[in-house]
Amino acid sequence: MCKINSLYSKPLFLTLAAFLALLSGFVAEHFFKLRPCSLCLFQQYVFMAICLIGCAAILLPFLRGHTKKISLFLAILYVINAGIAFYQVAVEHHWVEPPTQCQNKKLSGNSIEEMREQLLNTETVRCDHVQWSLFGISMAGYNALYCLFLGIIAFYFLRRQKKERKPL
């Protein structure tokens, strides 16, 4: 029984950590009315992928023998998500240009009414605008640190598992 618990503990831990990040984003969005920008949505998609892959690794019997590969993939996804979050921090500090989907849309139309209608129907949340921060660190900054920490932890799990299997 202990072997089964240790077999699932790494993907389960990484999956629960992604679920908590999604939950905190949901709370910020729905209870504190913070709207996500497109980079925030990309980060949420990566967390969703981590949750789906982690749940599949835990629940599907044919994936049980591949927990090391799945943990490696989850670790890589965390590092990718940290990269997206660090990029968003760079955009927030105006170190780099925001991607085109984060910028205001250019209006096109034949009349003032058409352009007015486009303005009213456009909901663009700018990536370079910090909606919330604590101690001078934005949500993207905290997410970057969180994902980087979890990526390092996941790689540590993998390295430790590799050392445990080697005979002395």
What is the CATH code of the structural domain delimited by 9-165?
A: 1.20.1550.10
Q: How many CB atoms lie within 10 A of CB 36?
A: 17
| Dihedral angle computed from the Cα positions of residues 78, 82, 87 and 91, in that order, rounded to the nearest 10 degrees | 120
Q: Among positive and negative, which fits the CA dihedral 4, 10, 11, 12?
A: positive
Whole-prediction pTM? 0.77
* pLDDT tens figures, 1-55: 344 445 557 778 888 999 999 999 888 888 888 888 888 888 999 999 999 988 8
- What average pLDDT does this structure show over 73-94? 90
Say how far apart CA 56 and CA 73 lie, in whole Å: 13
Q: What angle do CA 59, 63, 66 make, to 5 degrees?
A: 130
For the chain, the domains span: 9-165
